[in-house]
Amino acid sequence: MSIELMLLAVNLNMISFSAYMQDISGQIFSLFILLVAAAETSIGLAILVIFYRKCGSISVDDFNQMKG
């Protein structure tokens, strides 16, 4: 969650500076950052789904089974 907040802050900075400098490259790069954030979220969700299928719950106490 905090990584996504940092990525959104970077996006906000890039968009504001590209609007100030009249350059579109910052806005295009911010779209790529949004794509990376979406990919990161989907990978995290896939890990949780696999863990739920294996253990039957997503309890924090069960995360010690992920060792090895």
- Per residue in 28-65, pLDDT (tens digit) is 999 998 898 899 899 999 988 988 898 888 777 767 76
Q: Residues with Cβ < 8 Å from 14, sequence gap 6 or more?
A: 26, 27, 29, 30, 33
What Å distances lie between residue 29 and 25, 51, 60, CA to CA? Answer: 6, 33, 36
pTM over the 0.75 mark:
no
Domain that holds residue 6: 2-66
Stronger pLDDT, 5 or 67, i.e. the higher one: 5
pLDDT band at 66 (very low <50, low <70, confident <90, very high): low
Q: Number of folded domains in the chain?
A: 1
3-state helix, strand, coil in the chain (%, to 5): 85, 0, 15
